[in-house]
Amino acid sequence: MTIYVVANKKGGIGKSTTAVQLVTGLALKGRRVWAVDGDKDQTSMLLALTIRMNSGLPGIAASELSDGATQRAQVRLQAADFDDVVIAVGARASGSLRAALSVADVLLIPFAPRSFDVWAFENMVNLVREVQEMRDFKVLAFLNKADAAGQDNERAIADVAQYGYEIAAVTIGDRKSLSHASAAGMHVSEFKGADQAVRREVADLLEAAINLASN
């Protein structure tokens, strides 16, 4: 059983989209997945998975656990009933984020090729290192909302690499089809509007996360 956390202290970075793709991707592999939405102000993942169920697609267990202490206690109590747990945490939910990291096996940190996003990464790193002193977990950073061309992608990766965490070889492009699929609670492979490129990127990110968890 693996507990994945998708988080970044910077807003608008694609955390909910990533979490939905991770949850649905694991479920499509036949794994029993529990989605935990840790953002009481914007329960995007929970809403998306509710839309999924209402559309007739196979449902996925999901809960809103935004109170840090409650989240930590419930995840510890119920995680063994599932193959995987995916916790998505909002940018402002500091208590929920600390609680999620305290039970995490793998932390996924999306970052975008924008100066403000890269600068904000240091704030996330400081918190991660603080929590890692008490509980060790693996970290995978990846470039999200990547530009189709230009040097900003490479610069962002180089800037984040200095912190010493593993960076996924795959980058996720800034595509509307990915956002639309996630808002509907669908994996990109289930979404007719998603092309092969984005399907391959999301599949590669999922495999990178699974491989990190198993090593």
pLDDT at 42 over 70: no
Alpha-carbon distance of 208 to 140, in angstroms, equals 8
What's the whole-model pTM score?
Answer: 0.95
Can you give the residue range of the structural domain that contains 112? 2-214
Question: What digits encode the pLDDT tens for the residues 81-131?
Answer: 999 999 999 766 678 899 999 999 999 999 999 888 888 888 899 999 999
- CATH code of the domain in which 126 resides: 3.40.50.300
Q: What pLDDT does 41 receive? A: 67
Alpha-carbon distance of 81 to 5, in angstroms, equals 18
Mean pLDDT (the chain, rounded): 93
Q: What pLDDT does 93 receive? A: 65
Cβ–Cβ < 8 Å for 141, 167? yes
Confidence of residue 19 (pLDDT cuts 50, 70, 90): very high
